Amino acid sequence: MKMLINVAENVVADALRGFAAAHPELTVDVEHRLIVRRGSPYEGKVGLVSGGGSGHEPLHGGFVGKGMLDAACPGEVFTSPVPDQMVRAAAAVDSGAGVLFIVKNYTGDVLNFQMAAELAEDEGVQVVSVLVDDDVAVTDSLYTAGRRGTGATLFVEKIAGAAAEEGAPLDRVAALARRVNAASRSFGVALSACSTPSKGGPTFDLPDGELELGVGIHGEPGRERRAMMTSGEIADVTVEAVVSDLNPDGPVLVLVNGMGATPLLELYGFNAEVQRALAERRIPVARTLVGNYVTSLDMAGASVTICQVDEELLRLWDAPVATPGLRWGC
């Protein structure tokens, strides 16, 4: 397996050094693994902090900036960051208005953010945590750690970020984040496994001619394996999974997200099929975002996330955002 790296142990630090060079508008602390919006803390503004394993870029570091996150804590590849990073991030972005932790529902992320919230509170920072758990592929939630947090993280970070930018107080920003999560569902499909630097090869074996339905974003296998399907067939399965769980009766945001190794040519083609499948169900689409946003290293495949929006959520979605990974209206 060929990778554009030096040694596996240093991939995150190397990437952060390169990220820092490309984005002087952000403060990158390579030693403590922290990406902070320059000028933080902003007076009177709620601080938004998220983080998770590396390998999902641009999530989360690429979403730091005006109208979205104030800080991001990158962990090792597919490994949640440690509490020290989050405590440091919270201190860096707290203006006294409090800090919102946006946490994807994976055991490691949940435990580390939970410890960090307690430590930050000890230091006098008011912290509220919201959990993102949008993945409908995990149906058996009584016997699992609950649904995974995947693509909806982008919706939560964008919409809560816009509210914080407008000066909304902590409880209101947190409530909005929870509303967005509750209104969002995702489903992912892998056409190939991904390769982690520490393993040096694919994390599972997926033969040619087969695909995995219901994958997460960590190179873990999905719930079911099937013979390869066309883009239209995959869109039908995916949209059905998402829509049958959410039952939207109004306009939705659509994220057609690449897992890292699927070209935009294929993603746009897939989006055409997703739009058709939604139209067949008479679900109006308010906005669509297509691209690699919540990735899984070099995994081929895509996920679909939809979020049912009202006027307020749509206005916050449309609000200006200026980050390395998402930018409009600025």
Partner 1 sequence: MNATPDPETPVDAAFLRRWLEAATNAVDRESARLTELDSPIGDADHGSNIRRGFLAARTAVGQEPPETPGGVLVLVGRTLISTVGGASGPLYGTLLRRAGKDLGEEPAVSAARLRDALRAGVDGVAALGGAVPGDKTMLDSLLPALDALTGTLDAGGSAAEAFAAAAAAADEGAAATIALRARKGRASYLGERSVGHQDPGATSSALLVTALADTAREGS
Binding site for partner 1 (CB under 8 A): 8, 53, 75-84, 106-108, 111-112, 114-115, 137-138, 140, 143-145, 148, 196, 198-199, 203-204, 216, 218-221, 223
Q: Which is nearer to partner 1, 2 or 282 (CB)?
A: 2
Least separation, in Å, of the C-beta of 161 and partner 1? 24
Give, to the nearest 10 degrees, the angle between helix 152-165 and helix 311-318: 80
**Torsion sign, CA atoms 138, 141, 145, 147:** positive
Among 23, 32, 60, 218, the active-site one is 218
82: helix, coil or strand? coil
DSSP per-residue codes, 145-173: S-PPP-THHHHHHHHHHHHHHTT--HHHH
Least separation, in Å, of the C-beta of 298 and partner 1? 14
Least separation, in Å, of the C-beta of 119 and partner 1? 10
Any residues with CB less than 8 A from the CB of 241 and at least 6 apart, and which?
136, 137, 187, 214
Q: Which is nearer to partner 1, 67 or 188 (CB)?
A: 188
Q: Which is nearer to partner 1, 11 or 246 (CB)?
A: 11
Least separation, in Å, of the C-beta of 14 and partner 1? 16
Cβ atoms within 10 Å, residue 279: 11
Q: Which is nearer to partner 1, 33 or 66 (CB)?
A: 33
Is residue 60 among the annotated active site residues?
no
Q: Which is nearer to partner 1, 58 or 74 (CB)?
A: 74
- What amino acid occupies position 315? R
- What amino acid occupies position 3? M
Least separation, in Å, of the C-beta of 183 and partner 1? 22
Helix (H) or strand (E) holding 303: strand 301-308
Q: Which residues of 288-298 are buried (b: 16+ CB within 10 A; e: fewer)?
A: ebbbbbbbbbb
Is residue 32 among the annotated active site residues?
no
Residues acting as catalytic residues: 56, 218
